[in-house]
Structure formats: structure tokens, C-alpha cells
Chain A
Amino acid sequence: MELNRRNFFKVLGVTGVALATGSQLSAAPKKISDKEFSAILYDSTRCVGCQTCEGVCAEAHGLPKSTDNLTTGVLRKTDETRRTVINSYKTSKGEIFCKTQCMNCTQPACVAACLTQAMYKTKEGPVIWRGNKCMGCRYCMVSCPFDAPKFQFHSPNPKIEKCNQCYEKLQVGELPACVQNCPNEALMFGTRRDLIKEARKRIHDKPNDYYDEIYGETVAGGTDWLYISPVPFNEIGLKTNLQNKSYPELTKGFLYSVPTIFILWPTLLLGMREATKDNNSNTDNHE
């Protein structure tokens, strides 16, 4: 009997460890602070496709100068050597330019996906990548609905490249390189709330010039890059098949079930084991 009890406590101990680990492993997507996020508004009616932003971005982040010029209808993509590109689209309202880069979501999938907190949503807004923490698993890339993070597949010490809204410049009170240097004021920096107001105002003032929606206001739970354009967004290469809920929401149910399983399973299994134990083997143990 005594031995039995000891066994019982041993198993109970293991269960306790399981429970402790369980509560540690599970967590809902992080709550985001109430402070205002900074954001950038891109107005494609003002963009002339000069590619200045591409050049200054490469310079600001130590990347090679991109050599190909944009051609209407040819899709250029961001990659491990360039964090932003401008493309030209033939649309129902003629040739229109559109800038592409990481959207810096308000509730980023990449940050929820990252198991080392290398992808990090700063309290100021920009989503940054921290190389000293990253293990290069690329789960951020799998999870990102915009395919924003780019990986240096041909380096033994690979980095993730993506727009961080020039977080290092913001820290010292400067504007992001692209905003600072845009010759036609197609880019505007500010708090997300103010920029949404500004975008609404522009749409309201010139209803014929704009498509009545702000891309980034709700898509993927909201992003810190906002777009306004004369045409529906699918005409200028923006993804319109994405959900409006944030992406970390999709794994919430699973993560919430973890502590439940960690409490239910060990206790149930222990009970079943005790219930099916036959007495013969018990007496064997005593001898």
C-alpha cells in the first residue's frame, strides 16, 4: 500500500511539472499598448514613380543600389536586397504607381509566430527584426499574409530584410528615409489616428480622385502603412483577399486549448491507469 502511494505521488509530481510548463507555454497573442502607433500614409495619386524612395532606403540600410528601372506591367518584388519597390500598373484610370514594403501590422503575424521575439512590435509602432535573437527558422515568412520578411538564402549568416519604418532614425528624431526624401509628398509620417483622418479628408475633399477606402485601416487587423489610391486596390497589386481580423487570432483557439489539455490529460490518464491496474501485478511488486 505504501509503495502504491509513493508511486501515486511520483506521478502526481510529474503532472505538477506538466501543469507548470503548460501555463508557461500557453499565451494569447500579446496585448498591444494603448499608446498611439506611428504610421506612414502613401498617396498613390501623388506618386510619380521616380524611385527616389528605393534609392534612399537602400542607402539608409546599407543595401546595394537597385539597378532595374520600373516598366509598366512588369512586377518587381521586394527581396533580400531591397526593402521597398515601386511598380507601375495599367489600371482603369491609366498608369498608376504603387509602393510595396512590409506593412508593419498593428497586430503582426510575424511577431506572434516568432519563438524568440526576434520579430518585435515596438511600442512606437514599427515592427523590427533583432538579429541577435533570430534563429532563422523563417516561420515569420510562412505566417506573414503580405510575404513581407525576406531571407538571405545565400548567406551562411543570413538576415531577414524588411521595412522597419527606419526605426533607428525615429529613435533620434528623424523621419524615415523615404518620407524625408519623397520629392512629391506622396508619403506622410504621423500617428496612425491622424493619418487616417488626413486620408479621409483627402478622399472627402476630392471624391472623384480617390477610391473610397483606406487600405491598411482594417486589412489584417490594421497596418501602420496606409494607402489611398484612385482605383480599387487589387488594380495596383495590393492583396484584397486577406481577412480583416488580425492573423494571430487564427492560432488563439489552439493556444488556449493547451492549458486545458495539460490539466485534463494527465489527470484522466492517471485515473485510467489506476482503474485498469490489476491486483496481481501489485502483489508482484510487493515481493
Chain B
Amino acid sequence: MNNTTNILTKDNDGTSVVKFLISELKPKGKWLTPFNIISIPIMLLGFLLIVIRFWKGIGSITNLTQEVPWGLWIGFDVVTGVAFAGGAYVLTFMVYILNMKSYHSIIRVTVLNGFLAYLFYAGALLLDLGRPWNVINPIIGNNFGTSSVLFLVAWHFLLYMIAELIEFSPAIAEWLGTKRAHKILTGMTAGAVIFGITLSTLHQSGLGALYLMAKEKIHPLWYNEFIPIMFFVSSIFAGLSMVIFEGTISHKVFSNQISEKSHRADNKILHGLSKICAGAMFAYFFLQLLVFIHGKHWDLLNTGMGYWFLLEMLGFVLLPMLLYFYSYRKNNILLIRVAAVLTMVGIILNRLNVTVIGFRWDAAVRYVPSWMEIVVTLAVISAEIWVFRWIVNRMPVFRESPEWAKI
């Protein structure tokens, strides 16, 4: 056992498990890090705002209107957040279906990120529900609104979270030192992966399909019947760009946990991912071009929204795509990271353009999120990072698995 952190003693009686969990709950390392100093006040304020929201209604802290009933919490937290969590299904496809072993070292962190993204952003969805106590209705089956795209998306969120939890669960078993459970859970991975990829295909596109009925409400440059396909294709490179971005940060913050070997392998991984991003973005850009030409909206280009559309398509799709192509040919890691950040900005723009900025673009009173909506969003993101850090510091995510867990 080369794992230096606490390991359960062999006689797994109840008290030792409790003691172990209590000791693991305590913080590790320094308290007053810059991230903590910023995030703790945000989370406290966010919590206060959530209390006000449940006490006085959604309108007390949001700027939502009768014409724009879904704002930042849906458009950014849920729709954009889930797109960024797409890396998990793409990587599990590569590793467990296509057997691309060299990407195995980043699979756990990606799945963990995906799982937490769903947990927190679907959790944020509960804040946006006016009558959240009825959320069990579509689940327990007394009222299945099966003709609803949202019904499909809600069920898929739930099932996909379970699938991702199963995919990640061997790491939990290694942390707890439960060998039997580890064996069983590892055996379930392939099934969870296949199920998870199928679910992801449908709910990534389903998030776009949610907006299909809002035909006249979304600006014609962004509304088309292919929104579901666009959302699916863009989730591939959105997720992978997030993996590149997150990897860059994690490698700095958690560098003590990452072996020299995987540090070196990482550059190779980044190159591989940038190739996939370039390819997927080319397909996406081409699809957007086809839809645009087919939609015959040339006249709309010379308007304010038209320039905004061009900025998104040229500045944050075409440009990062070219950077990805260029960087892997030139072997330039820095350019890959720049491309990843630009791509992520482009995804945020695209999702917000469909859901918030282009939604009721013609309304007399435009919806602009209140500062309180933004604080709650930041609080949710902060809380997610806290949980992520807690897990990474305890379970073998970046760290090597204990010897017994390797076959």
C-alpha cells in the first residue's frame, strides 16, 4: 500500500468507520488560501439570498419577468453547465468503448467533474422551481408528462447522475478500503458507461430541444429546428475544452498528487484532445454555416444582433478551431490552452444567446440578471469547487490507486 493517507484498519467494525469518516471530514492543509477568502463570503451571501428566495418568492431576488420566465439560473447554471460537463461522456467513450488507454489517467477527474456539475447545477434547478416540493411528481410516476422534453431531460439528469456515480465509485471504494465493493463496482463500469453515453446524447440535445416550442421568441439567427443537433455537437468540444482548462488549473493546484509520469503524459493527452476539438468544431461550424445559408437571414447580419452573431461564430468558434488545428501541428501547449478558453467563452455566448440574450430580444423590457442571481450562481460554483477539492484531497483521483486495486 503506497497510499500515505488514512486507510481503514482491517477489522471493519462500525466505530472505526465512523472515526475514519469524522477524521476525513476535517480540513486538510491551510485555511486562509486566496480561494477560500473569496469563496466563503460569496457562499454565505448566496445562502442568505437563497433563504430570502424561499421566504419571499423567486421574484424577490431575480429580475425574471412574465415574458422571460427562465433567466441566468437556467441559461447559465443548467444549460451552459451541462454542456461543460460533456467531457465525461466523450472521454468514457474513448477509454471504455474505443479502448484508448493513454487517456485513462484523466478519466476519474473528468467523471468526478461531470458528476459534480450535474449534482450542483441540477441542484440549482431546484432553486428555480416555484413549487419544488412537487418535484417528486414526475419521478414517482403519479403524473408522467411524457410528451414533455423537460420530462425527458429531468429523468436523464437523474439517471445520468447515477451512471456517473457508478463510474466514479471505484475511487470511493479505494478510499474506504472496501475490496469486495470495489470489485463489484468496477464490474459495473462498462454498463454505466454505455448507458451514460446514450443518456448524454439525448439530454445534451434535449436541452436544446427544450427551446423548440419558443419559435417566435428566440432571435431567428439562433432559432432553428436543428438546435438539438447543434447543442449535442457543441457539447463534445465544450466538454473537452473544459477538461483542458480544468486540467491546467488542477495540475498547478494539486501538483503534489500527480506523479512525474502522468505529468509528462499530460502533454500528449492535451494534443490528442485538441485534435478532437478541432474536428468537432469544424463539423459544428460547417453545420452552423449550412443552417445559416438555408435560413436566408443575410439581411439580419447587418444589425446589432447580426454583429453579435458574427462575433460568436467567427471570434469564438472559427478562431479557436483554427488555433486548435494550428497548435497541434506546431506542438504548442500554450496555444491549446488559449483555444480552450476561447472555445469556452464561445459556448457561454452561444448558450446564453439562445436562452437569455436572444430570448425575447424584441421585448420592451429586456431581462438583465440581478446581482443577486449572479451571486447565487457564483455561490453554487464555489460550493462545487469546495466539494471537488475535498474529494480530490482524499480519494485517488489524480493520485495513483492503491496497489490492491490494480489488477
Chain B binds chain A: yes
Do A115 and B154 touch (CB < 8 A)?
Answer: yes
Closest to B200 in A: A265
Do A242 and B134 touch (CB < 8 A)?
Answer: no
Contact status of A266 and B211, CB under 8 A, knowing A112-B147, A115-B150, A156-B55: no
Do A269 and B70 touch (CB < 8 A)?
Answer: no
Do B148 and A155 touch (CB < 8 A)?
Answer: no
Do A276 and B99 touch (CB < 8 A)?
Answer: yes
- Identify which of residues 257-287 in chain A touch chain B, using a CB-to-CB cut-off of 8 Å: 258, 261-262, 265-266, 269-270, 272-273, 276-278, 284-285
Do B64 and A254 touch (CB < 8 A)?
Answer: no
Do B211 and A142 touch (CB < 8 A)?
Answer: yes
Closest chain A CB from B197 CB (angstroms): 6
Do B145 and A115 touch (CB < 8 A)?
Answer: yes
Q: Is A30 in contact with chain B by the CB < 8 A criterion?
A: yes
Closest to B151 in A: A115
Q: Is A214 in contact with chain B by the CB < 8 A criterion?
A: no
Binary per-residue interface labels of chain B (50-77) against chain A in the complex, 1 for a CB within 8 Å, 0 otherwise = 0000111111101010110110000000
Contact status of A133 and B137, CB under 8 A, knowing A145-B216, A158-B58, A278-B99: yes
Do A135 and B215 touch (CB < 8 A)?
Answer: no
The segment out of A7-15, A87-95, A204-212, A229-237 that lies at the interface is A7-15
Q: Is B212 in contact with chain A by the CB < 8 A criterion?
A: yes
Closest chain A CB from B190 CB (angstroms): 6
In the bound assembly, the distance between CA atoms of A248 and B99 in angstroms comes to: 41
Please give, as numbers and ranges, the residues of chain B lying within 8 Å of A21 by CB-CB distance: 155, 159
Closest to B363 in A: A147
- Identify which of residues 106-149 in chain A touch chain B, using a CB-to-CB cut-off of 8 Å: 109, 111-118, 131-139, 141-143, 145, 147
Do B197 and A265 touch (CB < 8 A)?
Answer: yes
Q: Is B295 in contact with chain A by the CB < 8 A criterion?
A: no
Please give, as numbers and ranges, the residues of chain B lying within 8 Å of A112 by CB-CB distance: 147-148, 213
Do A18 and B195 touch (CB < 8 A)?
Answer: yes
Please give, as numbers and ranges, the residues of chain A lying within 8 Å of B110 by CB-CB distance: none
The segment out of B202-210, B254-262, B381-389, B391-399 that lies at the interface is B202-210
Contact status of A151 and B148, CB under 8 A, knowing A273-B96, A276-B98: no
Closest chain A CB from B407 CB (angstroms): 6
Chain B CB within 10 Å, residue with most, of A242, A270, A273: A273
The size bracket of the interface on A is: 35 or more
Closest chain A CB from B202 CB (angstroms): 6
Please give, as numbers and ranges, the residues of chain B lying within 8 Å of A251 by CB-CB distance: 147, 149, 209, 212-213
Please give, as numbers and ranges, the residues of chain A lying within 8 Å of B70 by CB-CB distance: 138, 142
Contact status of A113 and B209, CB under 8 A, knowing A138-B130, A276-B97: no
Tell me which of B55, B60, B66, B198 contacts A269 (CB under 8 A): B198
Do B134 and A135 touch (CB < 8 A)?
Answer: yes
Please give, as numbers and ranges, the residues of chain A lying within 8 Å of B191 by CB-CB distance: 10-11, 13-14
Contact status of A147 and B130, CB under 8 A, knowing A262-B198, A266-B198, A273-B190: no
Q: Is B48 in contact with chain A by the CB < 8 A criterion?
A: no
Closest chain B CB from A224 CB (angstroms): 19
Please give, as numbers and ranges, the residues of chain B lying within 8 Å of A270 by CB-CB distance: 194
Q: Is B286 in contact with chain A by the CB < 8 A criterion?
A: no
Contact status of A139 and B66, CB under 8 A, knowing A133-B134, A266-B195: no
Closest chain A CB from B123 CB (angstroms): 15
In the bound assembly, the distance between CA atoms of A138 and B151 in angstroms comes to: 13
Tell me which of A79, A116, A139, A255 contacts B134 (CB under 8 A): A116
A-B contact pairs, 10 of them (CB 8 A): A15-B195, A80-B66, A116-B138, A134-B130, A135-B131, A145-B216, A239-B216, A247-B215, A273-B190, A284-B407
Q: Which 8 A-B pairs have the closest CB atoms?
A: A136-B130, A153-B59, A14-B191, A115-B151, A136-B131, A27-B146, A143-B213, A138-B69
Interface residues of A (CB under 8 A from B): 7, 10-11, 13-15, 17-18, 21, 24-30, 77, 79-80, 109, 111-118, 131-139, 141-143, 145, 147, 150-158, 239, 241-243, 247-248, 250-251, 253-255, 258, 261-262, 265-266, 269-270, 272-273, 276-278, 284-285
Known contacts A10-B190, A139-B148; 8 additional CB pairs below 8 A are A113-B148, A135-B131, A151-B69, A156-B54, A248-B147, A258-B202, A265-B194, A284-B407
